[in-house]
Structure 1
Amino acid sequence: MYFSNKQTKLSFLYNIGIKLTHFALKCASHFNKKIESGVKGRAESFKILEDNLNKGDKTLWFHCASLGEYEQGLPVFKKLREHYAKHKIVLSFFSPSGYEIRKNSTIADFVIYLPLDTKQNAKRFLDSVNPELTIFVKYDIWPNFLNELKRRNLRAILISANFRKNQPYFKSYGKQLKNALFAFEHIFTQNEVSKNLLLSINYNRVTVSGDTRFDRVYSQLELDNTLDFIETFKNNKCCVVAGSTWPEDETLFVNFINSESSKDIKFIVAPHNIKTSQIKSFQEKITGNSILFSEKDTKQLVDNQVFIIDTIGILSKIYSYADIAYVGGAMGNTGLHNILEPAVFGVPIIIGFNHDKFPEAKALIDNGGLFSVSTKNDFTSILNKLISNSDFRLKCGSKNLEHIKKNKGAVIQILDYLRI
């Protein structure tokens, strides 16, 4: 009885917390456009579903926290879209950054913000969608939605899951989240560590399939990655591509670009945030010639040393022109961005020091194709070595491509389980 009462109290506190979060977001939306987009979008989600879905419609539901999880799940989503061609597919995001960039995704009929995780919202959502199959990617475990799926005996799986022992699922205070995991009929994990953590809480319907991102990035090699304007800018010179950078990453590059040793090198920098003020601040610190993507049709690309990409959606293709790549996010606390995108093109990669939560980074470091730096001197030293020693550069890059090839195949395992 004690544990039952304790669990009831925790559930009550969780639901109160969600309602307080809703209130806090509404208040914050008056001061933050990103939060405002999420609040407005969530308010429209039910109308979109109820106006467009009929009771007899067959549906699938894909849920992703943000853009990274969408890219992770995309190879599975595409196969399901092909197999269930007559089903209506609902794709939900929690984060505005995922929704805004992929709101026109062709793998779904409806792209929405996931309503906040209240019991009432979960019931109303599933009354409308009633999915034949639900797929969550990596994390974003919402207890009320998942428990309602379980109560209705609706199928749900979690793919590319990556757990750590310090997460609430594996703590005494995290019973509600732990119970929500049991709503999944099967969980596909990225690694053995995650599997063993699930086994420790007596969740046994688990398979180590690996990370679907390897399949996703490998498919990039099958596409036409040609960008004529990048080819013109590069002009057959050694090119360093810095992707998804933050100001702390860009500080490293300003020093190096302005040094004498960089004069014969081309640099492409694609900031994570393309705010005009931030880009202007970065560009003003560069002493050499630089050009923005938005200026490329009015200025001579070949005459510039630095090309700043003030747009989104083309970074994965730009990496195909890199001789050396730098991936941002790990010099600060924002989180390392996708290192597998440049790795698939067989180029060596440099990142910052804050990558403990990213097992793919450790694997590429151990494999010899990725280098972590913590200071400007570290950065300058490894970048100079990669620039000056082409044999070393090619050897390191080839190790990254081999790692991608070795680890793809998660999608096949998931589809086999689904009998597709």
Structure 2
Amino acid sequence: MGFIYNIGIKLAETVLPCIAPFNQKIKKGVVGRRETFSVLKENLYSNDKTLWFHCASLGEYEQGLPVFKALREHYKAHKIVLSFFSPSGYEIRKNSPIADIVVYLPLDSKRNAKRFIDLIKPELTVFVKYDIWPNFLSEIKKHNFKSILISAAFRPNQTYFNFYGKHFRNALFSFEHIFTQNENSKTLLRAIGYDNVTVSGDTRFDRVSSQLEMDNTLNFIEQFKQNKLCVVAGSTWPEGEALFINFINKHALNDIKFIIAPHNIKPNQIANLKDKLKVKCVLFSEKESASLDTAKVFIVDTIGILTKIYNYADVAYVGGALGSTGLHNTLEPAVFGVPIIIGNHYDKFPEANALIENGGTFSISNQQEFNTILTRLIENKKDRELAGSKNATFIKSHKGAVNTITQYLNI
């Protein structure tokens, strides 16, 4: 399996530059990876002490951030290298204050892994959740550097737990310790003989809980909301937006406000959404010149403010689970004590399953179900507040992963 894997990496090194001109995301990754080693050479010196944090993308960065902050505070004299595999993480967090150097992770060839680790020489490496690269981890182990995996969540059908997965199982054994989100993941690791495992829970609970300590005020949202009941649709995709377009155009009452924050903010798609709504809409980009108080729908055509916007929600919808794109972050609205509606494809998201079982989150699969649940939450204040309270309590009761990890690291 290892031979096939390494052939696949070599093939990717050849193919990706060829298709990059036709795909902007791939192009950013290809160009960014070409610069990684020169960036490291320019910013690292032989006497530097370093830590290395790796995240697949933005979601894993947010997940690991509470641990990163604790390590940053403790290891003040160290340089921190933060790497991303995906452009969606790198492009948004390339100026992260948590790190001294932010780079794209090179493809996981043996040559790249050796060169990367020889340059960084990390005293501690932290991988987040699932982005596990065998050659990098093998090189770390070869040098006897310390590495941990945090917020890991495993499923029985993953390669590690199948007869053909020895190469990837070996990668897991390169970690000094693995911190899992749940008992099931720990059981799977124990079944393959990996015993250095602790169920810490999900660091995202600590991450979203810290949001309550921040200033979440957005004056333009207050001007738009006008103390009326507000439904926030976050990280929406077209299939979810269609539900809102239908509901707003046919059923929404005059005293209800709606905020829609699409995942894709390309101008043509924002314009298409606005055109389909038969009520007064205002875009974030128009807020300085528009009459916010008289608008029915506020469309967020920017990124980076959705978490604060959830603070103004009375009901939230989180996108992704109606289609095949994957459910977005349900914990962000839950921490504010907001009832949540999601699509029906959430099986791979244990926190969504738990929120539904807890009674504060509701799954829908079609327009009728959406209309029924949203209408009940709008019209029945008691049901709405009870569901929101259940979500807030759930978040509070699952904090503590960061403390478990930092205690292990003696910081």
Q: Shorter-chain TM-score: what band?
A: over 0.9
Q: Which residue of 2 aligns with 1:162?
A: 153
In the other structure, the counterpart of 2:59 is: 68
Measured after TM superposition, the shift of residue 263 of structure 1 is 2.8
Deviation at 1:252?
0.5
- Which of 292, 311, 328 does residue 320 from structure 1 map onto? 311
Q: Distance in 1 between matches of 2:399 and 2:218?
A: 26
Contact kept? 1:242, 1:328, Cα under 8 Å: yes
Give matches, 1:218-367, under 5 Å: 218-367=209-358
**Does 1:192 find its partner at 2:165?**
no
Aligned: 1:126 with 2:117: yes
Shift of 1:372: 0.4
What secondary structure is seen at the aligned counterpart in 2 of 1:310?
Answer: coil
Cα deviation per residue 1:290-319 (whole Å; 9 max; x = unaligned)?
011000001111111000000000000000
Is 1:396–2:387 an aligned residue pair?
Answer: yes
Q: Give the direction of change, closer, same or farther, for the CA distance of 1:182–1:277 in structure 2 (3 Å limit).
A: same
Summarize deviations over 1:5-28 as a string: whole Å, max 9, x none. Answer: xxxxx2221111011112222122
Question: Residue 405 of structure 2 corresponds to which residue in structure 1?
Answer: 414
Match of 1:56 in 2: 47
Question: Does the CA contact (< 8 Å) of 1:241 and 1:269 recur in 2?
Answer: yes
The alpha carbon displacement at 1:277 in A equals 1.0
Q: Which runs of no fewer than 5 residues in structure 1 stay unpaired? A: 1-9
Hey, what does 2:79 align to over in structure 1?
Answer: 88
The corresponding residue for 1:5 is: none
Question: Which residue of structure 2 aligns with residue 97 of structure 1?
Answer: 88
TM-score (ref. length: structure 1): 0.97
1:81–1:107 contact (8 Å) kept in structure 2: yes
RMSD over aligned Cα atoms: 0.6
Separation of aligned partners in 2, 1:166 and 1:374: 26
Query: Partner amino acid for 2:237?
Result: W
- 2:368 maps to which of 371, 377, 389: 377
Q: 1:30 aligns to what SS in structure 2?
A: helix
Taking the aligned partners of 2:95 and 2:360, their CA distance within structure 1 comes to 35
Q: Distance in 2 between matches of 1:101 and 1:164?
A: 29
Q: Give, in whole Å, the separation in 1 of the partners of 2:81 and 2:120.
A: 8
Cα drift, residue 260 of structure 1: 3.6
Please tell me whether residue 137 in structure 1 is matched to residue 99 in structure 2: no
Distance 1:262 1:52 in 2: 57
Give TM-score, length-normalised by structure 2.
0.99
DSSP 3-state at the match of 2:354: helix
Using the alignment, how far apart are the partners of 2:253 and 2:402 within structure 1? Answer: 42
- 2-structure distance, mates of 1:419, 1:376: 51
Measured in 2, the distance between the counterparts of 1:296 and 1:389 equals 31
Show the counterpart of 1:182.
173
Structure 2 unaligned segments of length 5 or more: list them: none
Q: Would the aligned equivalents of 1:45 and 1:112 in 2 still touch at CA under 8 Å?
A: yes
> CA offset at residue 51 of structure 1?
1.2
**How many Å separate the matches in 2 of 1:329 and 1:367?**
21
Between 1:23-32 and 1:35-44, the stretch displaced more is 23-32
CA distance in 2, matches of 1:125, 1:404: 38
2:18 to 2, 17, 27: 27
Identity among equivalent positions (%) equals: 67
- Aligned counterparts of 1:183 and 1:35: Cα–Cα separation in 2: 29
- Alpha-carbon separation, structure 1, partners of 2:19 and 2:380: 51
Residue 16 of structure 1 is matched in structure 2 by 7
Deviations 1:110-132 (A, max 9, x none): 11100000000000001110000
Are the equivalent residues in 2 in contact too, given 1:135–1:158 (CA < 8 A)?
yes
SS at match of 1:177: helix
1:166 alignment partner, SS class: coil
The alpha-carbon deviation at position 376 of structure 1 amounts to 0.4
C-alpha separation in 1, matches of 2:252 and 2:207? 36
Deviation at 1:280, TM superposition (A): 0.9
d(CA) in 1 for partners of 2:251, 2:398 = 40
Change (3 A) 1:260 1:180: closer
Conserved 8 A contact 1:347-1:397: yes
In structure 1, what is the Cα distance between the partners aligned to 2:278 and 2:264?
A: 22
Matches of 1:261 and 1:217, distance apart in 2? 30
Separation (CA, whole Å) in 2 of partners of 1:154 and 1:260? 60
Partner of 1:194, secondary structure, is helix
Distance 1:175 1:135 in 2: 22
Report the 3-state secondary structure (helix = DSSP H, G, I; strand = E; otherwise coil) of the residue aligned with 1:124.
helix
Q: Which moved more, 1:131-140 or 1:257-266?
A: 257-266
Please say if residues 256 and 262 of structure 1, whose CA atoms lie closer than 8 Å, have aligned partners that are also in contact: no
